[in-house]
Amino acid sequence: MCLPPSLRPTTAPTNANEPANTSRERENPGGSSDLPGYETQAGYLDAFAGAMSATAQGVGLVRDRTPRFEGWNLAPLAGVPIVGLGFVGRFNRISDTWGDSAGILHGVLDADSSKITRSAQNYRNAESPGGDN
């Protein structure tokens, strides 16, 4: 599918063990031609990249909404002994670690989704020989 029509074979080779009425469609349900070789549907790549991008946005929201104990929400702990403040520090460290991890995951998902989108566009460009290659 990536070759221009002038370079494509005119007949598809057949396997001697394969019956004549067998369709190659069963072997390659996502493909669009009867030619052997590597083919891809760029729409599937775009859908996967979209799912990765949406997941990156969700992870980014989780990172932004990770709870922390700050000065304004420590009022309920005013009567708690000093031992309780150790819990607050530990909770904030866990929260910071989670926020940092979610930030890393957000960055990876976002960057990889853009790479997959670019690869889908490369496949589209390769399929159109007269286009912008």
Which helix (H) or strand (E) covers residue 54, if one does? helix 42-64
pTM for the structure as a whole: 0.58
Q: Which of 14-18, 51-55, 80-84 shows the highest mean pLDDT?
A: 51-55
CA 80 – CA 90 distance, rounded (Å): 15
Nearest alpha carbon to residue 106 among 55, 66, 46:
55
Q: How many Cα neighbours within 13 Å face the side chain of 122?
A: 6
Q: Structure tokens of 46?
A: 């775009």
Q: Find the mean pLDDT for residues 104-127.
A: 91
Whole-number pLDDT of residue 30:
45
